[in-house]
Structure 1
């Protein structure tokens, strides 16, 4: 047994060394001789079953939904600025590249991206306007400067932004709340959410988490320098986007479990400047106080959510719509995904929401696409994760239960 353990440890160290060596080679534009691609079949019985589910989805008049691609474990979406390829993260070990080569608005190729690099929970891909792809992993951030060009090869130019083990302290790495998301702001800085791993963290962790921005959103320069905590008091944000008209950062936040079916609410928040505190862990969601911190005075400057959402619906990815395909009332609105509840006696969520934002900054949220939750049986037929906009103005929605991307388009009268 000791021999087996020793051999396993040696193999693990060898694999880590190989992974580090591959990244070093790729940063020097050298080949690795690594593994080839894994391709995902796009037709067959699985595709037909997903299309049958999509027949149940209810949308406003004039809108249609269809299967765009089969993408295993599909999570957050980054659409390439050139419109060549879309990258889709997962909570496992792969990022998928999705290509619609004939531009019929259905993907015809899905394969893994950069298979010569070992990835750990590469949930959060995001693009800079000039085409740099960032991927926020569990405890690392890499940048791929020309991903839309190099994705055709297993070897892809890649560089450390935040090296492995330096996004958060290694001792704080958890299996819980480590699906990162990122975005590049109008200031050119990289913004990354850092969910804290607890339902409600112990007070002994507060100082450490405040220092690192765990339970918040951090930002840094494109090369990883100048790291700072941008926003705090956030339990676990898994969706963000900058409002084009104001430059403000809006983000979803998932709130405390175990307080009951209907409390606390989920949140859609707006950060108007650096340094704001959004209330967690004193507040479990909205203005609902947590039991663990009910005897402490909350900070006086807490910023409460713009929209309180259905409790435990798990609001995740979001995007501001700035396309021209949809009717005018949707321009400037937020489309967001509700992943669905896991700890309610009556399940909720599993739908795409739309939030209309007025000129004063007020917001009203309503369902846009729903039907992935069977109301008779309570069974989830799909679980939306993220929403992204294609260059033609249609939307992509990811689903990590079905393992798919859906496309929503408008063909009614404007």
Structure 2
């Protein structure tokens, strides 16, 4: 362990030299010089007590296919996107507020022992997007900045101060005029090309026509990719309203992503989307299309891109599909191998609520898909009340599936014990 920590620190020092810090209202300069900030002890979250008991009681109503079970993995306030550290299984959890959480299962009992605020000396703003590189660097995509944390699982154990690098400085991820509380939660992934992909939701329901060119130029309402040091930025996917979930196929390495579609067009349209990008530069049709092939009112008289790419899956309208992951584990039955699990956060503007569940779509080797089915449901009661709202789905090393829930403030673990 000592040797690992020393080598991680050395790697961190080399990494940090790549990215200069900005002025330090949130301690970045001190942290990049490995100097203490004097920040108070990080917040911890109790894993026992009435709150944990209530969440476990609610889980008794969740329906799953035969042979599966769901359990409370961790109590994590406002839990959003998750990233599982590849060597230790430590789970880092983003939020739409100001905190990132570090969730540790020390004895591999498949339940959290500790939930601690990560990097509390850093002033985060909407640190929703978290993702790991294969060599163990944690990236945090905020509303308008991207930071990198080498050896996060080791530095995070030591208190509020961590090693940190600036990948995209504050105010440079999106033009500040496009900062908004609406659609400001980012999602990120490292691709097979070792580049960092970040989804940038645009701030309107449907953007004004006079803003469209500037949005598109900056990849706002799209997905950008950059080198892991922040260089060589390009817009990888255009015409994306607000993607909050992306992953790469383990078979053909293509980028797949969910997209939340236009509000206010009725209960049953437009559909949500699961998209497949086969190359850089494709346009996925927004804002000419509000979802699927449904035209928006605002752009109904404007000519859409001739080469617009339509979704491979049309999800239920307004179910709010967010985090998604390909399943590559060996625990679940073979039918789930290389398919897509997606978390539906649940509708907010539908007369009869829908969503608050996890759905599964089988994916064939050629990229075609089978019928999408409900995998886990029950967080939305029969009388339309939410007991929970799933946000993200990520796989643990043992092949079980983690589901985050920002409404209940929890992470659940779904495992398979075989048919009875």
TM-score bracket, shorter-length normalisation: over 0.9
Give the Å deviation of 1:413.
4.8
Q: Is the 8 A contact 2:89 2:396 kept in 1?
A: no
Aligned partner of 1:367 in structure 2 is 374
**After superposition, where does 1:65-104 map in structure 2 within 5 Å?**
65-104=70-109
Distance 1:58 1:328 in 2: 20
Aligned partner of 1:299 in structure 2 is 305
Give 2:264's match in structure 1, choosing from 236, 244, 258. Answer: 258
Aligned partner of 2:18 in structure 1 is none
Give the Å deviation of 1:35.
2.2
Residues 89-141 of structure 1 deviation map (CA, whole Å, 9 limit, x = unaligned): 00000000000112111101101000000000000000000100000001000
Runs of at least 5 residues in structure 2 that lack an aligned partner in the other structure:
1-21
Distance 1:290 1:204 in 2: 16
Q: Is the 8 A contact 1:131 1:148 kept in 2?
A: no
Aligned partner of 1:118 in structure 2 is 123
- DSSP-derived class of the 1:19 partner: coil
Distance 2:394 2:152 in 1: 18
Give the Å deviation of 1:83.
2.5
TM-score, normalised by the number of residues in structure 2:
0.93
**After superposition, where does 1:24-173 map in structure 2 within 5 Å?**
24-153=29-158, 154-173=160-179
TM-score, normalised by the number of residues in structure 1:
0.94
- Residue 268, structure 1, aligned to residue 274, structure 2: yes
- DSSP-derived class of the 2:372 partner: strand
Q: Is the 8 A contact 1:83 1:390 kept in 2?
A: no
- DSSP-derived class of the 2:322 partner: strand
Distance 2:123 2:307 in 1: 42
Give 2:395's match in structure 1, choosing from 389, 395, 411. Answer: 389
Distance 1:207 1:194 in 2: 15
Give 2:238's match in structure 1, choosing from 229, 232, 235. Answer: 232
Distance 2:211 2:164 in 1: 34
Q: Which runs of 4+ in 1 moved over 2 A?
A: 16-20
Distance 2:25 2:414 in 1: 38
Which stretch of structure 1 is more off in the superposition, 203-212 or 86-95?
203-212
- Residue 319, structure 1, aligned to residue 319, structure 2: no
**After superposition, where does 1:329-344 map in structure 2 within 5 Å?**
329-344=335-350
Distance 2:155 2:314 in 1: 42
Which stretch of structure 1 is more off in the superposition, 27-36 or 259-268?
27-36
- Residue 241, structure 1, aligned to residue 253, structure 2: no
Give the Å deviation of 1:84.
4.0
Give 2:353's match in structure 1, choosing from 313, 325, 347. Answer: 347
- DSSP-derived class of the 2:397 partner: coil
Distance 1:210 1:361 in 2: 27
Give the Å deviation of 1:17.
6.2
Distance 1:28 1:127 in 2: 23
What's the Cα RMSD here?
1.2
Distance 1:393 1:83 in 2: 14
Runs of at least 5 residues in structure 1 that lack an aligned partner in the other structure:
1-15
Distance 1:360 1:227 in 2: 29
Distance 1:179 1:190 in 2: 16
Give the Å deviation of 1:19.
2.6
Q: Is the 8 A contact 1:89 1:122 kept in 2?
A: yes
